[in-house]
Amino acid sequence: MAKTLQYEGIKPEAFDQMKSKLKSFGLDLRENSGGFSEKGVSGKYNYSPENESLVLDELSVGFPASMMLSLDSLQQRMTEIVVQYGGRPKQ
Count of other CB atoms within 10 angstroms of residue 51: 10
d(CA 34, CA 23): 14
pTM over 0.85: yes
The CATH number given to whatever domain includes residue 34 is 3.30.310
The parent domain of residue 73 ranges over 3-89
Task: Assess whether pLDDT exceeds 80 at residue 29.
Answer: yes
Question: What average pLDDT is seen over the chain?
Answer: 90
Please give the tally of structural domains in the chain: 1
Q: How confident is the model at residue 1 (pLDDT cuts 50, 70, 90)?
A: low
